[in-house]
């Protein structure tokens, strides 16, 4: 596998330099991709969601509740299950109901584990895996996986985390 670099800056800035040479940049919840050849494209509205919990400065429970409701998660339905050896609270569906929007959260540490929602008639499944790893610690997962209709379509693997690093805002612009 080829190394990728992921830059996160509060509030709301994301840059992912992919192994393919493509660069994804998110600003204020809107994401664009610059192809290795130079053309840019707008990414789906939900492309920001895998990073949301790490770059939101003023996020609070009502912000997240509103977001989950907008994705179709029924917050009045909840259950308990396990995910990657963690006890998870599942909001929006029973854990076996894979066709309904839902959000899975670590019961003890309130960490995001999984978010499933419909987008363009496909079930998108974002999974935050490996909390507490040697590489990323307790504040970032060691992997972020993206699935569409049950098939893995993207994976970001963390090999190192650096915090407190100064980054210019220009890093989060596609020229």
**C-alpha neighbours within 13 Å on the C-beta side of residue 135:** 9
Report the percent of the chain where pLDDT is more than 70: 97
Model pLDDT, residue 2? 61
List, for residues 81-129, the tens digit of each pLDDT value: 999 999 999 999 998 899 999 999 999 999 999 999 999 999 999 999 9
Edge to edge, what strands does the sheet with 13-17 contain? 5-9, 13-17, 23-27, 30-34, 40-42
Task: Tell me the whole-structure pTM to 2 decimals.
Answer: 0.91
Tell me the two tokens of residue 107: 């019961």
Tell me the two tokens of residue 49: 């969601």
Model pLDDT, residue 29? 86
pLDDT at residue 1 greater than cutoff 70: no
Model pLDDT, residue 123? 97
List, for residues 40-54, the tens digit of each pLDDT value: 999 998 999 999 888
Model pLDDT, residue 103? 97
**Tokens 């929007």 found at:** 101
Tell me the two tokens of residue 61: 């429970």
Tell me the two tokens of residue 31: 């994401």
pLDDT at residue 3 greater than cutoff 90: no
Q: What is the CA radius of gyration of the chain?
A: 16
């Amino acid at each position: 596998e080829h190394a990728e670099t992921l830059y996160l800056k509060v509030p709301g800035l994301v840059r992912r330099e992919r192994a393919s040479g493509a660069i994804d940049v998110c600003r204020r919840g809107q994401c664009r991709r610059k192809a290795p050849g130079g053309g840019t494209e707008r990414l789906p509205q939900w492309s920001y969601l895998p990073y949301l919990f790490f770059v939101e400065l003023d996020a609070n429970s009502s912000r997240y509740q509103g977001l989950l409701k907008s994705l179709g998660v029924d917050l009045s339905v909840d259950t308990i299950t396990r995910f990657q050896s963690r006890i998870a609270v599942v909001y929006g569906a029973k854990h076996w109901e894979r066709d309904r929007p839902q959000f899975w959260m670590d019961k003890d540490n309130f960490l995001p584990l999984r978010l499933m929602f419909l987008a363009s008639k496909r079930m998108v499944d974002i999974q935050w895996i490996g909390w507490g790893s040697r590489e990323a610690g307790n504040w970032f997962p060691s992997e972020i996986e993206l699935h569409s209709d049950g098939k893995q379509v993207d994976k970001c693997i963390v090999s190192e985390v650096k915090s407190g690093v100064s980054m210019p805002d220009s890093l989060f612009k596609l020229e």
